[in-house]
Structure 1
């Protein structure tokens, strides 16, 4: 098993990889103690059975530059194949401002090809490669050196089996004419906005149960401070303060260090120093927010959308029927919230755009407008023109 530890060796492999139609890629990383993922290992493989066709790349070695790999990622003549690529792509975007192009994600492709919702790599190895996969090393500490033989075997398996999976799914997509569907889905993965969290928008990730504009204004400022602090010092946001502590502070509105010390949920480290000062400043900023500048409550839930429940149920039946007919994962087309929005008269849901509209969205709108009906015949559901 080859482990690359020099820039020269990496450049040699990437030059050879550039002569192949595709390269499979995976990473191992840690994120428990940092805001941004710490890249610990990169695995890559090209078509072939020779030992040099699959390699491990150790980014923790002093003096090793990953630029040859990033240059390969920019080479549009070579498809870069990942499974569940989002976290891998975030690492490369943060580290080098680069996205692998063109991209192929076997998890997305498998959902389009009828393997179910968010199918795991192990499942695809078992179903397509007809091989077992030892996952015992999955949660080991990938930053420790030297790596064990078990870790190396596990890591290399994530790109060697991926070659067979990619070739199988790519052929199936070509036969079915659905390659365009996958490419539409992958556009969000190569959009920088997917990975950039603006501190001022961080509050939108919070789950609140209040419509109070003042509470939301304080929560927004606390979330802004937490996100900026965590990003600037590369620490997990929960190490600054957890969500439940943030909600408590937005409710109690501490005005000084003594008030802050009465918090039940705030971490001890956050009751003093820079974090404590940042919290008090954020609360003060929230209290000073003008009413017109306060966040508006996010309206969610079936009852708030004035959903027609019978129509929503019909849409669920139509979605299930269409997905069974097309052999595509339901979750890829529409969520329960999307169906409720449609039943409430909304028309700005993803299910009404691109290939989703062809498979489901167009008929869903016609069903809502009374132009289609559903009928059962045996175990099948038929769509009838009205």
Structure 2
């Protein structure tokens, strides 16, 4: 197994990769102790069976620059192949502001080709490459050196089998004419906005049932502080305060450190120093937010959906029938919320756009308008004009 430890070695491999139509890529990283992922290993492979066709790149070696890899990512003559690429791409975007083009994600392609919702790499290796993966090194500490032979073998398997999977799925897409379906999906992964977390929007991830705008205003400011603090110091947001503690503080609204000390859920480290002061300042800011700047509670300021439950059920049957017919994952086309929105008369859902409209959206609208009907015929559901 070849492990690249110098910039010159990496540059040589990347130059050689430009003579191939594609390169497969994977990473190993840690995120338990940091806000941003710590890149620990990069795996690369080009078509072929020679030892030098698949390599490991050790980014933890002093003096090694990943710039040759980023130059390869910018080379649009070579397809960059990943499986479930989002976290990998986030690492590269945060590190260098680069996203690989053109991109191919085998998880997305497999969903389009009938392998089910968010199919795992191990499943594709078994079904397409006809091989088995040794997963014993999956949860090891990739930052420790030296790497064991088992770790190296495991890591290389994530790019060597990926070659067979890519070639199979690319051929399937060529035969079915569905390549543009995958391209539409990958547009999200290639949008830099996908990887930007703005502290002012962090509150939207909180799960709360309250209808109090003032409560949400305080929670918003607490979440803004937590996200900014964690980003600036590259520590997990839960090391600042956990969600349950944040929501408790939004409810109790302590105004000084003595009040803060009464919190049941706040970490001891957060009851003093910079974090404590940041929390108190955030609570003050939330309490002082003008009424018109408070977050809108669920169901306020938005018309509550009046879902026709019978129509929603029919849409679910139609979606299942169309996806079985087209051999495409249901989750890729529409969520349960999308179907409820359609059944409530909403028309600004993604299922009505692009390739989804061809597969499902157009018929869904016709069903809503009473122009289509469904009938059971044996084990199948048939769609017919009314």
**TM-score relative to the length of structure 1:** 0.99
1:362 is matched with: 362
The yes-or-no answer on 1:292 pairing with 2:279 is no
Equivalent residue number for residue 89 of structure 1: 89
> Deviation per CA, 1:317-345, whole angstroms, max 9, x where unpaired?
00000000000000000011110111011
Match of 2:158 in 1: 158
Pairing 1:266-345 to 2, within 5 Å after superposition: 266-299=266-299, 304-345=304-345
- 2:295 partner SS: coil
Confirm or deny that 1:147 pairs with 2:147: yes
Give 1:192 deviation, angstroms.
1.1
Query: Counterparts of 1:382 and 1:345 in 2: how far apart (Å)?
Result: 24
Cα distance in 2 for residues equivalent to 1:155 and 1:106: 17
2:132 matched to 1:132? yes
Equivalences for residues 123-272 of structure 1 within 5 A? 123-272=123-272
1:296-323 C-alpha deviation (Å, 9 max, x unpaired):
12349xx942111000000000000000
SS in 1 for 2:189: coil
Matched, 1:46 2:68: no
Mapped partners of 2:365, 2:206: distance in 1: 32
1:147 and 1:381 mapped to 2: Cα distance?
54
Quote the offset at 1:115 in angstroms.
Answer: 0.3
Deviations 1:186-207 (A, max 9, x none): 0000111111011001101111
Q: Secondary structure at the match of 2:29?
A: strand
- Give, in angstroms, the shift of residue 94 of structure 1: 0.1
- Aligned-residue Cα RMSD (Å) equals 1.0
Per-residue CA shift, 1:138-163, capped at 9, x if unaligned?
11000000000000000000000000
Higher mean C-alpha displacement, 367-376 vs 57-66: 367-376
TM-score, with structure 2 as normaliser: 0.99
> Take 2:240 and 2:348, find their aligned partners in 1: how far apart are those partners?
36
- Cα deviation 1:222-252 (Å, max 9, x = unaligned): 0000000000000000000000000000000
Q: How far apart are the structure 2 equivalents of 1:339 and 1:193?
A: 26
Cα distance in 1, alignment partners of residues 369 and 224 from structure 2: 43
Aligned-pair CA distance for 1:51 = 0.1
Please give the alpha-carbon distance, in whole angstroms, between the structure 2 residues aligned to 1:254 and 1:333: 45
- Aligned-pair distance for 1:129? 0.8
For the residue of structure 2 that corresponds to 1:374, the secondary structure is strand
SS in 2 for 1:370: coil
Quote the residue 1:70 is aligned against.
Answer: 70
Matched residue of 2:56: which SS? strand
Please state whether the residue corresponding to 2:63 is helix, strand or coil.
coil
Displacement after TM superposition at 1:366 (Å): 1.0
- CA–CA distance in structure 2, aligned partners of residues 299 and 356 of structure 1: 28
Aligned-partner SS, 1:69: helix
SS in structure 2 at match of 1:226? helix
1:188 alignment partner, SS class: helix
